[in-house]
Each structure stands twice: as structure tokens, then as C-alpha cells.
Chain A
Amino acid sequence: MVFLRSEEHLVRWLDANGWEPGATLTAAKMNEVSRAWWESRLDPGWRPRTTQESQAILDSAGLTDDFWQLG
């Protein structure tokens, strides 16, 4: 999960490594997902999420296609 400066750099990076594209988000969208994913991690009552709970975070960010299915 890497940062890239632009779509052009993404294509060049994939080509250079011979990798098929996965999923691309803007950093702003990634931040929205990351915040929901991690913001409770240091809470005293934290407990591991179920797969369904993690999936709900992705779903609520609109990441619903097959690439984003955890199970």
C-alpha cells in the first residue's frame, strides 16, 4: 500500500514491476478509510473486530467490489 504522485507514476510503477493493477484511492479517501479503521485502536475497551465489522468499515466507505471482500 504505497503513495504515488500521479496516475502517470502509478502506470509507470506497475509497468516497471510487471504487476497487474489493484485498487487506487486518493489519499483523502484512504485517510477516510484509515481513520475509521484505526481510530479506536488505542481505546481501553478495544477488542479485535470480526471480519464482518471490518467489512462494514470498507462498505461504509463505498469499497464494495470484489477486490475489497475480506472473506
Chain B
Amino acid sequence: MYFSIVANGRPPTADDTATAFALPVPEVEECYRRLHEAHALVLHPDSVDIRFANPFCFAPTPHRVKAGGRTWTGTCAWDALGIPAALHTDGKIDSECACCREPVGLRLEDGDLVEGADLLVHILVPARRWWDDIGFT
């Protein structure tokens, strides 16, 4: 799934995966649901469309990440920083301050933040409750 995401810039639909592996679509849909239940990915509500394949996000957020020749969306501040890490490449993050909505920029080179290192990241939810509502976390 992740190789498909990196190659195509979007997650594979259940139809895509069924075709690729010559499997019945309902069987693949059930696999997607099991991956969701195991927190390996997050589906849109009442759907088998992929919302998060962390650190990649396929729903709107303020976190735009330029890395590896594409512009990605990060699920959150943590995951925005994780996209260049996962791709093993430099990256630029265009996001916003959660308070004033003014743009903030971060730039990564060789794994280090060379711009934006003094910005703050705030995590509201304690770690043991992250998956209670992963969209809010």
C-alpha cells in the first residue's frame, strides 16, 4: 500500500488493490477494515477510502509537505515532519500557527530542521488516549 502511495501520490482504492492482486473487491474491503481496526491506517467514516496512512494524510489539513518531488499533506505536525523522514529526503513544510493562522515554514535538510526549529509543537492528548479519536489527536 505504501509503495503505491509513494508511486502514485494517492492511496490505492479497494478496487485498485483487488485488481493488482486479482482478489474479489469485498475481500479487499474487509482487509482494509481490519487494517483500520488494527490502527495500521484510518478510513473515512462509513467508507473504505483511506483517510490516513500515517504519516500521509488524504484529507485536508493545514500541513503541506514538499518532499520527494510531490506535495503531500501531513496528518498533524508530528506526521508533517515524518513525511521527509519516511521518504529519506529533504523537505519543506508550509503550515500555520494554530492560534493566529499565520503561515509558518519549516525546512529539513539531511534530517535536521534548518528553518522553523524554534517553533513549538503542542500535543493536547496524552499518549495512551491518542487512538480514542485519532482525528482530534
Contacts and interface: CB of A to CB of B under 8 A. Distances in A.
Contact of A5 (B85, B117, B119): B119
B99 A16 contact: yes
Name the interface size band of chain A: 35 or more
Interface of B is mostly: mixed
B70 interface: no
Contacts of A31: 81, 108, 111-113, 117
A26 B88 contact: no
Given A26-B118, A41-B55, A34 B113 contact: no
Contact of A38 (B86, B104, B122): B86
Interface of A: 1-7, 9-10, 12-13, 16, 19, 21-31, 33-35, 37-39, 41-42, 46, 48, 58, 66-71
